Structure 1
Amino acid sequence: MEIIILIIPFLLAMMLGKFIIPYIMLITYKKRLFDPIDARKIHQHIIPRLGGVAFVPIQCCLLAITIIMVYKLNFVDLKIATWEVFPMFIMLICGMVILYITGIADDLIGVSYRWKFMVQIIVALLLPLSGLWINNLYGLGFVTEIPIWIGVPLTVFLVVLIINAINLMDGLDGLCSGLVGIGCLVLGMLFVYYQAWIHALLAFITTGILISFFYYNVFGTSKRRRRIFMGDTGSMTLGYTMAFLTISFSMNNNNIKPFTEGAVVIAFSTLIVPVFDVIRVIYLRWKNKQALFKPDRNHLHHKLLNLGLSHKSAMLVIISISLVFCIVNVLLVQVMSNNLVLVMDVFLWICFNYGIEVLFAYKRQPKFDKQTSLEKSMPLVKKYNF
């Protein structure tokens, strides 16, 4: 019965997305609300960027309706400590609404990064206010329980980092929605395993809407192949959703789920690719004395495109890497310490990026053209009668 409670909202999210997103596309084309084209952007055609407008209404409505029906009809016991868990979801919805409004304003008229950064800090503070914060590192860095005066700032920092990491990965068709969809699917199954049903419900609803959006973002409508971007409205709210789910899984709180030795590593495995990539990009900007928030083309998907991969191939490679990290880390925490798993992740990430740099350098080397070299040498042959 609990699985049915998850499957029905998941399917409804897909159907609502398939119904609502084409109407959003119709409005954006009629009102000509397109994503601007510039030298940094990969696309060279007019494409609207308001697809993320569909996410928050579907997430919040399906989540609220399902929870109310479960409690009113009382046909299944989800074993939830109401007063401990519900404030977290209430603050989640408040934060999503704030980011939703900010994202729409940014997609339509533009919002400076300073104002967006302030809004992100405000919504990040809502989670500790509801009682959700990282209170245990499970031996990571040889630290276990941490006091609230360290856990709350750490939580705020991670929420802001995750929101921006997801936002910056929205550079290829299907990349952001694919990464978040994989992350929500993995976290949803983990929450099901630990019988954290409401968290699993949120994860599967988000996965459902992202499946519909992925289709329209990558393939477009069936008639004219018109596609749509999610914009900051979608990427910021998805980042906030992922931050909520990962921190919920990481927190040592029996009202959410039982104690899990590798909770932090497992949870943040779903975010390794976007978080590691944004850390690498910010480090390069700092090293080259560039503005930390200035857009550039140093992200992982740009590097794969420079190697000659197509947009879809680069997207599939990155999503596959994220999925591999998730599966491998879930298995390794059973037999290895959290510190060793983290060191291995960092090592593999560095090796992967170094391999890309080596391949790119090899590709840029001028290749010897026998015919061209012979033609260049002919004048010398004639001059000196060789």
Structure 2
Amino acid sequence: MYFLETAIVLLVGAFLLTFFTIPKIIGVVEYKKLMDNPNHRSSHKKVTPTLGGVAFYYGLILAIFFLKGQDMYNEAIYLVPAITILFIIGLKDDLVVLSPLTKLAAQIIAVSFILASDSFTIHSLHDFLGINDIPYFVYLLIGGFLMITIINAYNLIDGIDGLAAMVGIVILTMYTIIFYLSHEFFYSLLCIALTACLSAFLYYNLSKTKKIFMGDTGSLIVGFMIAMFTLKFLALNPSDYRELPFHLDSAPLVAMGILIVPLFDTARVFTLRIANKKGPFSPDRNHTHHVMVDYLKLSHRQASCTIAGFNLIFVVILIIMGSASSNLWMIILLLFTCIALAYLFFRLDYSIPNLKRKVFLKRKVEELKHKLHLTPPLAWSSRSKHK
């Protein structure tokens, strides 16, 4: 009963706080002319207020204060400085563009606070891919890499109206259920508070008259929280899985399924940029959502709803498989989905760089056919006459 009452208070309180604060933020941003000016990569055509993530920051801080005493390992002591660091660096990046290296350094410092807490230590993968005990220094490397990857992956999907908020709501809803069933109520309630913030922000992000972007201020904070929840999920004890609808060793695959949208988009974009001999963090319009808007001619709302809906359906299917089948079929589903999506968006993308790649691959295939004597039928017939 206590959980339900607290969840309702946090849900309503965080929603109303964000909903009534964002117009004030819009007013200040417009008055100080801190608007986001569109460029050749932008998906919007008008100058738009940013810094919507400011509301996320104090919404989370107040939620953590409200939940004091509920964290078994005093996680709040580690969360507050980490969130504050990312809030400051995100705010500065929205006002004065920072280099990727500066943002990466801030992320490493923020992640270090989480890795220093015993609550997030992953001791074992419970025979996933034959891996059991994990040395502490290996956990630090894997945990740090995992969190930084998720933070940047979420940051990269914030490219069209509604997408980051919708995908964030889907991911946080999954983690809310998982932490509730595993009796980690502190994390479940934090998920609810952040979901409420994103829901209130979504109203303005999709608005035509009061539009605002979350900016790096918001995407870094939300990405960090999602990364932290993922690490905590993987660090759950075997006893915590008694009421979860999937097997213990399926947890890494379920986590990948929950994060399929940001992880797939990041892997795809980084691959394309490296193939074009560009830096992985160099900006472009090769993201999945850009392809859907530019080449499928979907509106921002349609593209965002489609991607978020896919994320929800996919993770539900994966969880069902995790409760009834072995990890092998879950791995096959993940690989098949990623390969199919990569091929689909490769076929849909008609940008100049992608057309060049298609011509290059076609030539390579033809060369390979010649080497394997798989020439066209005409060549075969002429060869036969010669014989």
Q: Which of 286, 289, 296 in structure 2 is aligned with 1:307?
A: 296
State how far apart, in whole Å, the 1-side matches of 2:99 and 2:62 are.
30
What is the aligned partner in structure 2 of residue 327 from structure 1? 316
**For 1:203, which of 191, 212, 218 is the aligned residue?**
191
% identity of equivalent residues: 32
Match of 1:316 in 2: 305
Check if 1:298 corresponds to 2:286.
Answer: yes
Q: Does 1:245 align with 2:229?
A: yes
| Aligned position for 2:376 | none
Counterpart in the other structure of 2:381:
none
- Encode CA deviations 1:162-199: one digit per residue, 9 max, x unaligned: 01000000001010011111111111011111221101
CA distance in 2, matches of 1:107, 1:234: 10
Q: Which moves more between the two structures, 305-314 or 39-48? A: 305-314
Residue 28 of structure 2 is aligned to residue 44 of structure 1: no
Distance in 2 of aligned mates of 1:237 and 1:359? 32
Residue 145 of structure 1 corresponds to which residue in structure 2?
A: 133
Query: 1:134, CA displacement in angstroms?
Result: 3.1
**CA 1:55–1:321 in structure 2 vs 1: closer, same or farther (change >3 Å)?**
same
Letter in 2 for 1:204: I
Instruction: Give, as a single letter, the amino acid of the residue that structure 2 aligns with 1:260.
Output: L
Q: Which residue of 1 aligns with 2:219?
A: 235
Structure 2: distance between partners of 1:311 and 1:215? 14
**Counterpart residue number, 1:357:** 346
Structure 2 residue aligned with 1:179: 167
Amino acid in structure 1 at the alignment position of 2:128: L
Greater Cα offset, 169-178 or 124-133:
124-133
Report the aligned-residue RMSD. 2.1
After superposition, the C-alpha distances for 1:278-332 in whole angstroms (9 at most, x for unaligned) are 0111122222211111011111001111222121111111111111122111111
Measure the CA separation in 2 of the matches of 1:343 and 1:243: 24
Partner residue in 2 for 1:97: 84
Letter in 2 for 1:183: I
SS of alignment partner, residue 42 of structure 2: coil
1:115-161, CA deviations, whole angstroms, 9 ceiling, x for partnerless residues?
00111111112212112233333333332332112111000001110
- Counterpart CA distance in 2 for 1:140 and 1:355 is 30
What one-letter code is carried by the residue in structure 1 that aligns with 2:250?
G
Q: Deviations over 1:83-141 (max 9, x none)?
A: xx22x332122111000000111111121111001111111122121122333333333
Counterpart-to-counterpart distance in 1, 2:130 and 2:111: 26
**Which residue is 1:369 aligned to?**
none
TM-score (norm: length of structure 2): 0.84
- The letter for the 1-side match of 2:320 is L
Letter in 1 for 2:89: T
In structure 2, distance between residues paired with 1:196 and 1:188: 9
Counterpart of 1:246, as a letter, is T
Task: Report if the CA contact (8 A) 1:196-1:257 is conserved.
Answer: no
2-structure distance, mates of 1:211, 1:123: 25
Provide the rounded CA distance (Å) in 2 between the counterparts of 1:3 and 1:104.
34
Give the total of aligned pairs.
345
Offset, 1:255: 9.1
Asked whether the 8 Å contact 1:133–1:151 carries over to 2, the reply is yes
Q: Which segments of structure 1 move beyond 4 Å, counting only runs of 4 or more?
A: 254-259
Whole-angstrom CA distance in 2 between matches of 1:277 and 1:139: 29
SS at match of 1:144: strand
Work out whether residues 99 and 237 of structure 1, in 8 Å CA contact, stay in contact via their aligned partners in 2. Answer: yes
CA apart distance, 1:254: 6.5
- Per the normalisation by structure 1, the TM-score is 0.84
Q: Does 1:134 align with 2:135?
A: no
Q: What is the one-letter code of the residue matched to 2:309?
A: S
| Contiguous gaps of at least 5 residues in structure 2 | 356-387
Aligned residue in 2 for 1:156: 144
Q: Which runs of 5+ in 1 are unaligned?
A: 72-77, 366-386
Q: Comparing 328-337 with 95-104, which one deviates more in the overlay?
A: 328-337
Is 2:215 aligned against 1:214?
Answer: no
Q: Secondary structure at the match of 2:45?
A: coil
- Per the alignment, residue 75 of structure 1 pairs with none
| Matched residue, 2:382 | none
CA contact (8 A) 1:141 1:339 kept: no
| Secondary structure of 1:137 counterpart | strand
Q: Deviations over 1:53-80 (max 9, x none)?
A: 1101111212212x24xx5xxxxxx7x6
Matching residue of 1:125: 112
